Amino acid sequence: MDKDILFNHFSTAIELLEQHYVVASKKEKLLSGLREKNSDDFKNIKSLSEFATFVTEMLMQLSGDKHLYIELFTNQEDGNFLEEDWLKKELESERTNNFGFTEVKVMPNNIGYMKITQFMNPDRGIDTAIAAMKMLENTDATIIDLRHNRGGYGELGEYILSYFFDDEPILLSTTHDMNIKDFQTFTHPFVVGKRKLNHHPLYILINCKTGSAAEYFTYVLQAHEKAIIVGEPSAGAANRNTYYPLTDGIRLSISTGEPIVEITGSNWEGEGIIPNIKCAPEDALDKAIAHLQQSE
């Protein structure tokens, strides 16, 4: 591909980062490092996919922020691309992955198990989330498997975690956002079905691929001593991101929101969530069941 065209895309990315990147402590170093590049740095790049990889690695090296990356639309290279294609791709993923709720079952000893691979659009996914929670509402304990869940829409996770709180809304977090007014997040005063209260045993399984909204879900429940976390430390991607198109088929993800969880006054950015029970991710389910049985 033409190096000057690629450099123009790169320059647009720098401008967007200058306008929208939220982490003040990292911003100067990030922008300075990017501005050292010129068009010759792109002369060996032959495709948009190579460009996306090259710039993403650069962003990660300069910031360590896992919400800074270039995303390619399914190897799109021909320029025949519409913005609506991103929505079509999302809708298809929701349909084929059951809004992220890929497994819900009652295991022996009346232990509820729920595998969530992604927190998808809350407006479209709320009915599936309610059905999953209804399926498990009479269990004596709950295990939520978030291994390999990279995040998604935080609102759906906020609804599910509200089942483990009383109906009086509790302030969970305040987010400083570059694009909109700073906002606060509370537990939901109303959920469909039974809440899981009175020290209901809750275990959350995580690994190094558990990120973003899935980490928020885990961090909040751990901080409020509602859940025991099992597995390995999570990804450490706390910031909320917004997508900006650069050209046909590629878009830039920028951290535009920085959440602070009320009960800790902090978040898990760069550090990840430290499990209460550390183990190899593939052993996490067995470890959770064993710990539950020992606690009875």
**Which CATH class, in words, describes the domain spanning 97-236+272-295?**
alpha beta
Residue identified by tokens 């401008």 is: 15
Number of Cβ atoms within 10 Å of the Cβ of 149: 28
What is the rounded CA–CA span in Å between residue 228 and residue 205? 9
Looking only at the bridges linking them, the beta strands covering 202-206 and 141-145 are parallel
Portion of the chain with pLDDT greater than 90, in percent: 88
Mean pLDDT, the chain, integer: 93
Summarised one tens digit per residue, pLDDT across range 61-84 is 999 999 999 998 754 444 455 567
Q: Does 284 score more than 60 pLDDT?
A: yes
- The pair of structure tokens assigned to 76 is 């799109």
Q: Is the pLDDT of residue 219 over 60?
A: yes
pLDDT at 94 over 80: yes
Return the pLDDT at 80.
Answer: 52
Structure tokens at 187: 């537990």
Q: Domain-by-domain residue ranges, the chain? A: 3-84, 97-236+272-295
List, for residues 171-194, the tens digit of each pLDDT value: 999 999 998 889 999 999 999 999
Angle at CA of residue 244, ends 160 and 124, nearest 5°: 30
Instruction: Please list, in sequence order, all residues whose beta carbon lies within 8 angstroms of the beta carbon of residue 36, skipping any fewer than 6 positions away.
Output: none
For residues 249 and 85, give the distance between their C-alpha atoms in angstroms, rounded to a whole number.
9
Q: How many CA atoms lie within 13 A of 177 on its CB side?
A: 13
pLDDT of 114 higher than 50: yes
3-20 and 24-35 are packed helices; what angle lies between their axes, rounded to 10 degrees?
160
**Which amino acid is residue 212, in one-letter code?**
S
The whole-angstrom separation of Cα 235 and Cα 110 is 31
